[in-house]
Amino acid sequence: MYTAVEDEQKTEQLIELLKSNRTAVDDVWIFTENDGQDFRYVPIAEVRRRAAFIARRIRRLREEGFGASINVLNTIGHSDYADPFLVPLPWGGITGPDGAVSTCCSCPREPAFLNYVREKYTAFAGCDPDWIWVDDDVRMFAHYWNVMHGCFCDLCLTEFTRRTGKEWKREELYAAIVRNDYPAINPDRDAWMHFLSDQIVEIHSLIREAVHSVNPRIGLGGMNTRFSAQSAYYSRFPDRFEALRSSPDREIRVRPGGGAFTDERPH
Ligand SMILES: [Zn+2]
């Protein structure tokens, strides 16, 4: 986690620990943010400051013979926890069906946010990691608590209207997507779910372009969201992870997410 990485003494302690367990370690991941309050939007100036530290730590790990990679913990944002203490988003947050706006999770169609994503991954690619991992906050649901799912902001509704050729208001769209057409497929819900998942796939493509514009040798990995929540929208994991692959012969990596952190009790 980032704070420990910035602290030289903690870094050296960690390296000693790793050296004493060398056979159990093949790649060391540096997380770009901490869990807790440092889990959300980080302004680009601070991203670059952290990248300078991380680059040094990566060189240090390599000197000791370890692989060194980066996990970008915050892209869209995981949740609104601790928001009174955090830097507010400089663009629109994810908007829920009731018009509530997330304070820490970005609307993934905001042009300024997409520029930020490009700059952030460009900065971390400059640290020369072996791999860059995308965390599981790149999702359109479970952004606790202000907004659980979205995005129903004006920008997103305008784009959905353009793609479907039908004018949509927030309340009317929400009523349409929760309408029960069973056993038939609800075409409005189907179009909305594809709209959301397209955006997630597009962000993964943007990340790949940003990273490989700096160094095409950097590997890319994705983290899935918990399987019990897949039905919340069309997760399209294969499309997302394929978007991280620049050519068919390229290896990509995938890991479980959403709390699947132990083998004994994955969920
Ligand atoms: Zn939006």
59 CA from centroid of ligand 1 (Å):
39
Is-cis flag, bond preceding 29, omega within 30?
no
pLDDT digits (tens, 9 = 90+) for 91-117: 999 999 999 999 889 999 999 999 999
CB-count exposure of residue 25 (10 Å: 0-12, 13-18, 19+): middle
196 CA from centroid of ligand 1 (Å):
10
Q: How far is C-alpha 49 from the chain's CA centre?
A: 20
106 CA from centroid of ligand 1 (Å):
8
49 CA from centroid of ligand 1 (Å):
29
155 CA from centroid of ligand 1 (Å):
5
163 CA from centroid of ligand 1 (Å):
15
Measured distance between the N- and C-terminal CA atoms of the chain, rounded to whole angstroms: 23
What residues contact residue 196 under an 8 Å CB cut-off, 6+ apart? 140, 151, 233, 234
95 CA from centroid of ligand 1 (Å):
6
In this prediction, residues 171-194 reach a mean pLDDT of 95
251 CA from centroid of ligand 1 (Å):
32
Query: CA-to-CA distance for 158 and 246, rounded, in angstroms?
Result: 31
Q: Evaluate if residue 152 carries a pLDDT over 80.
A: yes
Q: Evaluate if residue 256 carries a pLDDT over 90.
A: no
Residue 173 or 225, more confident: 173
108 CA from centroid of ligand 1 (Å):
6
206 CA from centroid of ligand 1 (Å):
17
Q: Structural domains in the chain?
A: 2-87+109-141+201-255 (3.20.20.80)
Range scoring the smallest mean pLDDT among 63-67, 227-231, 234-238: 227-231
159 CA from centroid of ligand 1 (Å):
9
DSSP for 133-200 reads: EE-TT-SSB--TTT-SB---SHHHHHHHHHHHTS---HHHHHHHHT---TTS--HHHHHHHHHHHHHH
Query: CA-to-CA distance for 233 and 191, rounded, in angstroms?
Result: 11
**Cβ–Cβ < 8 Å for 214, 132:** no
245 CA from centroid of ligand 1 (Å):
26
110 CA from centroid of ligand 1 (Å):
7
124 CA from centroid of ligand 1 (Å):
26
Per-residue pLDDT at 224: 80
Indicate yes or no: pTM above 0.95: no
64 CA from centroid of ligand 1 (Å):
45
94 CA from centroid of ligand 1 (Å):
5
In this prediction, residues 115-141 reach a mean pLDDT of 95
pLDDT digits (tens, 9 = 90+) for 19-68: 999 999 999 999 999 876 666 899 999 999 999 999 999 999 999 999 99
**Cβ–Cβ < 8 Å for 129, 69:** yes
177 CA from centroid of ligand 1 (Å):
17
137 CA from centroid of ligand 1 (Å):
15
60 CA from centroid of ligand 1 (Å):
41
**Residue 206 in 3-state DSSP?**
helix
